[in-house]
């Protein structure tokens, strides 16, 4: 069976940039947008043009710069937002307007003091209006994760009739379980009239740590676009992490789904976004964290030194990391110590290793990590002793 493509919609520059302290200027956004385009991203959400003159300028400049990806601007469901987004996107080779409105009862009541029927009308009107500017219109049903499926299907039907080409089903509050989110996508696929005219898209937040799992469940159930950010940056606990989605689909060929992202650029992309946004990546972050390919316990180190596949499911080179690392701590064993000595130019015999290992443990119990300088000092004092 032929593998089907999942389009990657990157919203690092819009949802990701909403993180407090992560604000970027236009120049920084252009640097990221250019690299995202080279990475193989299908759609770059460049910003929310009406939100500020700076964001308008960024979307406009990104539209001029990007060569391959579609460039998208966010709007609320009103004419002024849509006019502004259309103006900002006018230089884009492939422009997309992303408009939408809250559809959960809580949003309808508290945000809009409105009714379900009125929301359907406003949603369809917004899409129809956006279509007067661009062919490619994506509709988001904000808080779809907490919107009941029957009503959500009616909203979807109305916006498809109005011309929406992509239906974004956001789990805005990160509430859904993977099974539940997957079933929502399946329900829409099976119950929305005209669904074959639109692509279903997953946009999941990470409040319960399930954003990536939910997005994958959505894709398994028929969504063909995933919205995500580099390093999983985003409001509160963040969005689905792009690097995780790409590598899950790459490692699980059994899913028969793929992306066009060049995974070898992921590590570099992560570092660049982290630097420009001033937001460090947690060391244990999947795929791009500093410890993602670091082994520190003796049992694991022994296995990895014999054969990397014993404890690694991804070849580090696949994500642009030079090599796995063997970290020396008080939990490390003899084989790791010998491996690291060899790495700095010392071959040790079994008897020498037995002695050095006891010395190593004394120091390792006092330090978090033993580095190459510590090893050199150990070797110096050892050669003097036997000397
Ligand atoms: O999380 C969300 O619902 C959003 C929409 C504005 C697409 O970011
Ligand atoms: Zn979001």
Is residue 201 in contact with ligand 1, taking CB distance under 6 Å? Answer: no
Give the contacts of 54 (CB within 8 A, at least 6 positions apart).
25, 26
- As beta bridge partners, residue 44 has 10, 71
pLDDT of residue 220: 98
Q: Which residues surround ligand 2, an ion (CB under 5 A)?
A: 15
pLDDT score recorded for residue 1? 77
CB 101 within 8 A of CB 123: yes
Helix (H) or strand (E) holding 61: helix 53-65
Token duo for residue 93: 């080779």
Least confident stretch, 21-25, 263-267, 371-375: 21-25
Query: What percent of the chain clears pLDDT 90, i.e. is strictly above it?
Result: 97
- Closest Cα to atom 1, ligand 1: which residue? 172
User: What are the start-end ranges of the H helices in 89-172?
Assistant: 105-106, 116-131, 149-162
Q: What is the mean pLDDT of residues 211-216?
A: 98
Question: Are 294 and 325 contacting, i.e. CB atoms less than 8 angstroms apart?
Answer: yes
The Cβ of residue 148 has, within 10 Å, a number of other Cβ atoms equal to: 12
| Residue 149, pLDDT score | 98
The pLDDT tens digits of the residues spanning 307-366 come to 999 999 999 999 999 999 999 999 999 999 999 999 999 999 999 999 999 999 999 999
Residue 95 Cα to ligand 2 middle (Å): 20
171 within ligand 1 shell (Cβ under 6 A): no
Dist. CA 100 → ligand 1 center (Å): 9
Closest ligand (CA of 45): 1
Superfamily of domain 4-277: Aldolase class I (3.20.20.70)
Cβ-Cβ contacts under 8 Å for 162 (sequence gap 6 or more):
123, 124, 125, 127, 128, 131
pTM of the model: 0.96
Cβ–ligand 1 distance for 145 under 6 Å, the answer: no
The reported pLDDT for the residue numbered 31 is 98
Average pLDDT, the chain: 97
Closest residue by CA, ligand 1 atom 6: 142
Kindly give the number of the ligand 1 atom that is closest to the alpha carbon of 140: 7
Kindly give the residue spans of alpha helices, DSSP state H, lying in 165-284.
Answer: 178-191, 211-220, 242-251, 266-277
The answer to whether the CB of 17 is under 6 A from ligand 1 is no
Mean pLDDT value across residues 74-101: 98
Q: Give the position, in ligand 1's atom list, of the atom nearest the Cα of 227.
A: 7
Does the pLDDT of residue 97 top 90, yes or no? yes
Pocket test for ligand 1, best of 126, 139, 140 (most atoms within 8 A of CB): 140
* C-beta of residue 10 within 8 angstroms of C-beta of residue 45: yes
Question: Does 139 score more than 80 pLDDT?
Answer: yes
Distance between Cα 112 and ligand 2 center (Å): 19
Distance 252 CA to ligand 1 centre (A): 28
pLDDT at 386: 76
Q: What are the tokens at 51?
A: 């939100």
Whether residue 172 has its Cβ less than 6 Å from ligand 1: yes
Q: What is the mean pLDDT of residues 143-163?
A: 98
Point out the ligand nearest to the CA of residue 229: 2
pLDDT digits (tens, 9 = 90+) for 218-264: 999 999 999 999 999 999 999 999 999 999 999 999 999 999 999 99
Residue 208 near residue 175 (C-beta atoms within 8 A): yes
Instruction: Give, as one character, the DSSP assignment of residue 77.
Output: S
| Residues 225/45, Cβ–Cβ less than 8 Å | no
Where exactly are the structural domains of the chain? Answer: 4-277, 294-386
| pLDDT score for 384 | 85
Per-residue pLDDT reduced to its tens digit, 19-35: 988 899 999 999 999 99
Q: Is 366 exposed, middle or buried (0-12, 13-18, 19+ CB in 10 A)?
A: exposed
Q: What percentage of the chain reaches a pLDDT higher than 70?
A: 100
Longest distance between any two alpha carbons in the chain, whole Å = 89
Residue 387 pLDDT greater than 80, yes or no: no
ipTM: 0.99
């Amino acid at each position: 069976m032929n593998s089907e493509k999942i389009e990657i919609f990157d919203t690092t520059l819009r949802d990701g940039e909403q993180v407090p302290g992560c604000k970027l200027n236009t120049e920084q956004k252009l640097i990221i947008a250019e690299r995202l385009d080279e990475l193989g991203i299908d759609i770059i959400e460049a910003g929310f043009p009406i939100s500020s003159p700076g964001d308008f300028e960024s979307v406009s400049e990104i539209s001029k710069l990007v060569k391959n990806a579609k460039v998208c601007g966010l709007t609320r469901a009103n004419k002024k937002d849509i006019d502004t987004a259309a103006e900002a996107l006018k230089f884009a080779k492939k422009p997309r307007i992303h408009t939408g409105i809250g559809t959960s009862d809580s949003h309808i009541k508290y945000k809009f003091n409105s009714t379900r029927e009125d929301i359907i009308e406003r949603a369809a009107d917004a899409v129809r209006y956006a279509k007067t500017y661009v062919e490619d219109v994506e509709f988001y049903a904000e808080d779809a994760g907490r919107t009941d499926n029957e009503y959500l299907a009616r909203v979807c039907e109305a916006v498809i009739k109005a011309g929406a080409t992509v239906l974004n089903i956001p789990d805005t509050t990160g509430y859904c379980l993977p099974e539940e989110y997957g079933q929502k996508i399946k329900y829409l696929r099976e119950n929305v009239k005209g669904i074959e005219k639109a692509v279903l898209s997953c946009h999941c937040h990470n409040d319960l740590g399930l954003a990536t799992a939910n997005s994958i469940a959505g894709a398994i159930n028929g969504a063909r676009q995933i919205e995500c950010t580099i390093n999983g940056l985003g409001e509160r606990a963040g969005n689905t992490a792009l690097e995780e989605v790409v590598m899950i689909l790459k490692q699980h060929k059994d899913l028969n789904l793929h992306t066009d992202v060049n995974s070898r650029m992921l590590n570099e992309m992560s570092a660049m976004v982290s630097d420009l946004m001033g937001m460090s990546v947690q060391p244990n972050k999947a795929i791009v964290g500093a410890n993602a390919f670091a082994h520190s316990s003796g049992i694991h180190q022994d296995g990895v030194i014999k054969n990397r596949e014993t404890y690694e499911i991804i070849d580090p080179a696949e994500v642009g990391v030079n090599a796995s690392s063997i970290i020396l701590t008080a939990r490390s064993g003899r084989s790791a110590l010998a491996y690291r000595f060899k790495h700095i130019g010392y071959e040790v015999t079994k008897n020498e290793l037995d002695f050095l290992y006891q010395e190593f443990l004394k120091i390792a119990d006092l330090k978090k990590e033993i580095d190459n300088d510590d090893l050199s000092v150990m070797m110096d004092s050892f050669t003097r002793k036997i000397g």
